[in-house]
């Protein structure tokens, strides 16, 4: 059995679109995109969710805490779950918060940095590197109770597709633009509705089943 680790934020965790600040609702396992993917791929693949709400690519969060830093957490996850055949990274949405003050280019480059860490980890099969799928998050909307928290996010995130593609190419990763497949919820602008989880999980399962080895 091969192992997939899904390293992401609240959308990998399965957070339900928020209508009130402080909501902590989560979709059932089989509704979340990693669960949808797991159902398609079992028993050949074991899918591990590593989704942390608020996780950034490389930043300590001055409000939510340093544990949100994806760069710090990634080596721990890699060592915990090795040997890893495929690492799926979908991060960058939380970097859009004005508190971090970074550009779309810097967010994509930071996602690429995570790929570099994984490639040097020796946590893949036989002590090599895992294959990496870099997923560009879909564009955010500025709506609902999170609109102020994500002020300016729409324009930046609309560039994710092109910039993450370059980051994937530069780091020898498989690539998927989630914005070609799904859209963020109109409720809060950043989380996914159940049908979007299903679409994304099935799209990634399709990519894995094709096993083309195509690097963009």
pLDDT at residue 210, rounded to an integer = 86
Q: What's the pLDDT tens digit per position in 90-114?
A: 999 999 999 999 999 999 999 999 9
Judge whether 88 lies within some domain.
yes
Judge whether 215 lies within some domain.
no
Judge whether 47 lies within some domain.
yes
CATH of the domain at 111: 3.40.50.1110
- Chain centre to alpha carbon of residue 71: 13
Judge whether 202 lies within some domain.
yes
Count the Cβ atoms, other than its own, within 10 Å of residue 199.
18
Spatial separation of the C-alpha atoms in residues 131 and 48, rounded to whole Å:
15
Contact 99, 86 (CB under 8 A): no
Q: What's the pLDDT tens digit per position in 122-177?
A: 999 999 999 999 999 999 999 999 999 999 999 999 999 999 999 999 999 999 99
- Per-residue pLDDT band for 215 (boundaries 50, 70, 90) equals very low
Average pLDDT estimate for 21-34: 95
Spatial separation of the C-alpha atoms in residues 7 and 156, rounded to whole Å:
22
pLDDT at residue 22, rounded to an integer = 86
Number of domains in the chain: 1
Residue indicated by tokens 């089989």? 30
Question: Would you say residue 214 has pLDDT above 50?
Answer: no
% of residues, the chain, pLDDT over 70? 97
Judge whether 103 lies within some domain.
yes
CA atoms within 13 A on the CB side of 120: 9
Locate 100 and state its tokens: 């971090």
- In terms of Cα–Cα distance, which of 108, 116, 105 is closest to 171? 116
pLDDT at residue 23, rounded to an integer = 86
- The parent domain of residue 113 ranges over 2-210
Judge whether 216 lies within some domain.
no
Contacts of 185 (CB under 8 A, 6+ apart): 17, 141, 191, 192, 193, 196
Q: What is the 3-state secondary structure (H, E, C) of 157-171?
A: HCCHHHHHHHHHHHC
Locate 130 and state its tokens: 């895992």
User: Could you give the residue ranges of the DSSP H alpha helices within the chain?
Assistant: 10-13, 33-41, 70-81, 104-119, 153-157, 160-170, 194-210
- Chain centre to alpha carbon of residue 25: 19
DSSP E strands in 9-67: the ranges are: 45-51
Task: Compute the mean pLDDT over every residue in the chain, rounded to the nearest whole number.
Answer: 95
pLDDT at residue 216, rounded to an integer = 39
CA atoms within 13 A on the CB side of 173: 29
Average pLDDT estimate for 17-25: 92
% of residues, the chain, pLDDT over 90? 94
């Amino acid at each position: 059995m091969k192992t997939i680790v899904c390293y992401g934020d609240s959308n990998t965790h399965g957070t339900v679109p928020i209508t009130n600040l402080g909501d902590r609702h989560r979709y059932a396992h089989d509704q979340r995109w990693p669960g949808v993917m797991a159902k398609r791929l079992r028993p050949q693949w074991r899918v591990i969710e590593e989704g942390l709400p608020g996780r950034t690519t490389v930043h300590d969060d001055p409000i939510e805490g340093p544990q949100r830093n994806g760069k710090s957490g990634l080596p721990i996850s890699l060592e915990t779950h090795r040997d890893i055949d495929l690492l799926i990274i979908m991060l960058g949405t939380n970097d859009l918060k004005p508190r971090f003050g970074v550009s779309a280019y810097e967010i994509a480059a930071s996602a690429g940095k995570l790929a570099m860490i994984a490639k040097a980890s020796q946590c893949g099969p036989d002590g090599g590197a895992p294959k990496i799928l870099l997923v560009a998050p879909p564009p955010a909307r500025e709506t609902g109770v999170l609109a102020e928290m994500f002020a300016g996010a729409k324009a930046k995130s609309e560039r994710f597709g092109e910039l993450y593609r370059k980051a994937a190419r530069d780091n020898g990763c498989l690539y998927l633009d989630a914005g070609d497949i799904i859209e963020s919820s109109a409720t809060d602008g950043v989380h996914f509705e159940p049908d979007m989880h299903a679409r994304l999980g099935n799209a990634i399962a399709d990519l894995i089943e094709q096993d083309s080895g195509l690097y963009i």
